[in-house]
Chains A and B, each alone.
Chain A
Amino acid sequence: MGNILIVGGATGIGRAALMAFRAQGDEVFLADVNDGAGRALCEEQGAHFLHADLADPAAPRAITDACVTALGGIDTLFVNAGVLASAPLAGWTPELWQRSVAINLGAPFFLVQAAAEALRLSANASIVLTASTGALRGHAQMHGYHATKTGLIGLVRSLGDELGPDGIRVNAVLPGFIDTPFNAPFWAAQDDADAAQQKLAASIPMRRQGTPEDVAGVVTFLASAAARYVTGTQIVVDGGYSAV
């Protein structure tokens, strides 16, 4: 069974992935800034927990070190933490912008850097970064989000090329609209949130938003041996939203 490091998983997609990995018998180490929900989940699921704030540049190394100490190694690194900031163009301060870049793009990169040594020792090493269909589309006011999530697509390509010879696979999962608390700022930015949600569902070929479990199925697949020739690429899970 594998050793899985999840960064960002007290709720939503990361939580569903944690539960899916535990259900198939993997060992899981969760790092999250959300102390209460994270600890409770890990106690319930028999996983390890570390409180970590990715705004701290020392966090990536602290997380990977603690994971290796607790589990003995890392087979899968799943970086799911992210922020969704929203403001009209004029409201984007350098601080707001830098926070999106640091959490959504910088932290995944430095987590990969910190975990690479441990991953090289694994017989089935896999890195999964949570991007978004926001890498394929654009929405007003979400500038930091779209820029950083699109940046992750480039990152999995360059990392896939560099780490391929070491047998470490690097891929991105691109969730579409998934019904989690994460999207609250997006809906709050709409004039009429209920009407906007209904309009959205009508525009998705499968006529519903996704569930965190819908995305967890992609993450466990990319971590598994069934995906052992899959690297440098992206898997969209969006009910057909971006295909039409």
Chain B
Amino acid sequence: MTARQTIQLRNDLAEIPRLANFVDGYCRPLGASSDDINGLQLALEEVVTNVIVHGFDDGGVHHFTVDLEAIPGPGVIAVVTDDAAAYDPLARAAPDISSSSIEERPIGGLGVHLIRALMKSVAYERRGDRNVLTMEWVAGGPPRS
């Protein structure tokens, strides 16, 4: 079993490629395909982008962490922990994506929809002064939605 690993990120969108490399480097030895890994990378990019763009409004430099821990599957438990103001991204109502008309498609909410669709489970918790988002990912799943 691959040991748990942590990356610390700054609140700067330029950190996204470093996150992607971290995820790729952790997941590849687990036996996951690059297509599968892209799913986890995408979900984490959506979460981390939210933290970076909306989490801190004081203009200062902040740090937050992403932990990855391998589970059988192969899969990964990914945890994003930040000390921004309390914010539950999952509280947002799911967008209605049923229409095939571009005019009727909502522009917002797509990121959280992708996170939910790509992860086996997602849970938010406010722990002290931190937001903790825990995502369970299994290579090859979940079923196409």
Chain B associates with chain A: no
**B positions within 8 Å CB-CB of A:** none
**A positions within 8 Å CB-CB of B:** none
